[in-house]
A = this chain, B = another copy of it.
Amino acid sequence: MKSEWFKNCWMVAAHAGEIGDSIVARQICGQKLVLHRTAESGVVALEDKCPHRLVPLSLGRKVGDQVMCAYHGMRFGPDGVCTDIPGQKQIPAAACVPTFACHERYNLVWIWMGDQALADPALIPDLHWADSPDWTVTTGYLHFECDYRLCTDNLMDLSHESYIHKRTIGNVDDESIAEFPVKVTVEQDRLVRAHREMPNIVSPPMFSMILGEETRIHRWQSAIYMPPGIHMTNVGFHRVDRPRESAHMHMMLHLLTPETDGSTHYFWVFCRNYHRDDEELTQSVVRANVVTLQEDADILKIQQGVLDANPDAVVPKVGIGLDVAPVQARRLLHRLAAAEEADRTAIAPPVAMVADGPLSPTGGSLAA
């Protein structure tokens, strides 16, 4: 499976809180980086390789706004230019490292891995829920040992919840998620949405935990994808005897950043609109999310292994009805990657991820 990246965009490099007093080594799109927070320029990202003897700068340490190499003490500023070489006054012009534009927004550190001239913060996708006072936010990170596109396949067909995630968000056998019709739309050639209404079902374990009992609920789920790596799962649910306006809602952001061909940084941001100060619930939700995502990570790692052993394989090999949204998602991504391949200055401005409406992306009625 040939890798497929689109780099002229902002990707998540870190949760903001990760970059504090010390330097952080991180690989993105195959590029090894050292990230650190400077007084002068905020978070900066330098190639993680001293131009002298190629030792990773991340072995060194911060000296003010500079990174000092662990081996011979050369120092590099936020712009990547060497400022200090022990034992000599003159700094050769070649003594510098490439840098990559960073920008903080929504408590996330965004990085631009493509053409640096194009790195306009206006192109950061709107994820305002992630630091809105109207939502309670919890965050986390998992390392996925697979191509990020396998995560996209996974996130755009949520029917797998019935099989992989029985312990948290999967439904019982006789209410398999796949049995409810899914409506797939492609918006502005930039976003795929797969929406499913699931009226009058038994609450899965995580929802029962939130509601305090297993009961019958109306539930909806929208899987939204903006390539290359921005996913949102919008979920709403309420007791069948309550109005849609009372729904508990989740905006779960899955922010995928390729590490290498076969590994992915998986940043998640979970926003909820209920029991907003219940710290115990927050902890339970974190645990349930980690369990759920780890179940995905486990199976996708195995799937990646099969693909590695069968480099000419295409997935899905046999297509089924549930593949409509994943296939559309891959198609959008492929179009972006091909555009960038043809023109290194191609960009793709983000669009809004959630349409107007009182509660859900579609505004439809579950109980209809």
* A92, closest chain B residue (CB): B318
Compute how far the CA of A315 lies from the CA of B71 in the bound complex, rounded to whole angstroms.
Answer: 13
Q: Is the CB of B306 within 8 A of A87?
A: no
Q: Is the CB of A163 within 8 A of B54?
A: no
Q: Is the CB of A306 within 8 A of B86?
A: no
- Interface positions, chain A 122-176, Cβ under 8 Å from B, are 153, 157, 159-160, 162-164, 176
Determine the chain B residues whose CB is within 8 A of the CB of A310 once the complex forms.
54
* A150, closest chain B residue (CB): B53
Q: Is the CB of B315 within 8 A of A54?
A: yes
Q: Is the CB of B70 within 8 A of A159?
A: no
Determine the chain B residues whose CB is within 8 A of the CB of A160 once the complex forms.
71-72
Compute how far the CA of A54 lies from the CA of B317 in the bound complex, rounded to whole angstroms.
Answer: 8
Compute how far the CA of A23 lies from the CA of B335 in the bound complex, rounded to whole angstroms.
Answer: 41
* A88, closest chain B residue (CB): B321
- A59 with B179: in contact, given A72-B163, A92-B318 (CB under 8 Å)? no
* A91, closest chain B residue (CB): B320
Copies in the complex: 3
Determine the chain B residues whose CB is within 8 A of the CB of A179 once the complex forms.
86-87
- A72 with B159: in contact, given A54-B307, A56-B306, A302-B55 (CB under 8 Å)? yes
Q: Is the CB of A317 within 8 A of B55?
A: no
Compute how far the CA of A317 lies from the CA of B74 in the bound complex, rounded to whole angstroms.
Answer: 14
- B55, B303, B321: the one within 8 Å of A306 (CB): B55
Determine the chain B residues whose CB is within 8 A of the CB of A49 once the complex forms.
306
- A52 with B87: in contact, given A163-B72, A299-B71 (CB under 8 Å)? no
* A86, closest chain B residue (CB): B178
* A49, closest chain B residue (CB): B306
- Interface positions, chain A 292-308, Cβ under 8 Å from B, are 299, 302-303, 306-307
- A318 with B95: in contact, given A73-B162, A302-B59 (CB under 8 Å)? yes
Q: Is the CB of B178 within 8 A of A87?
A: yes
Q: Is the CB of B162 within 8 A of A59?
A: no
Determine the chain B residues whose CB is within 8 A of the CB of A88 once the complex forms.
320-322
Determine the chain B residues whose CB is within 8 A of the CB of A73 once the complex forms.
159, 162-163, 176, 178
Compute how far the CA of A173 lies from the CA of B85 in the bound complex, rounded to whole angstroms.
Answer: 13
CB of A350 closer than 8 Å to a CB of B: no
Compute how far the CA of A350 lies from the CA of B320 in the bound complex, rounded to whole angstroms.
Answer: 45
Q: Is the CB of B94 within 8 A of A299?
A: no
Taken residue by residue from 222 to 264, chain A's Cβ proximity to chain B (1 for < 8 Å, 0 otherwise) reads as 0000000000000000000000000000000000000000000
Name, among A56, A70, A87, the residue most crowded by chain B CB atoms within 10 Å (CB to CB): A87
A–B Cβ pairs within 8 angstroms, 17 of them:
A52-B315, A52-B318, A53-B315, A53-B316, A54-B303, A54-B313, A70-B164, A71-B164, A72-B322, A74-B320, A86-B162, A86-B178, A87-B159, A87-B176, A87-B320, A88-B320, A94-B318
With A86-B176, A95-B320 given, can you name 11 additional A-B contacts, CB distance below 8 Å? Answer: A49-B306, A52-B316, A53-B303, A54-B317, A55-B302, A59-B302, A68-B163, A72-B157, A73-B163, A87-B178, A94-B317
| Chain A residues packing against B (C-beta within 8 Å) | 49, 51-56, 59, 68-74, 85-88, 92, 94-95, 153, 157, 159-160, 162-164, 176, 178-179, 299, 302-303, 306-307, 310, 313, 315-322
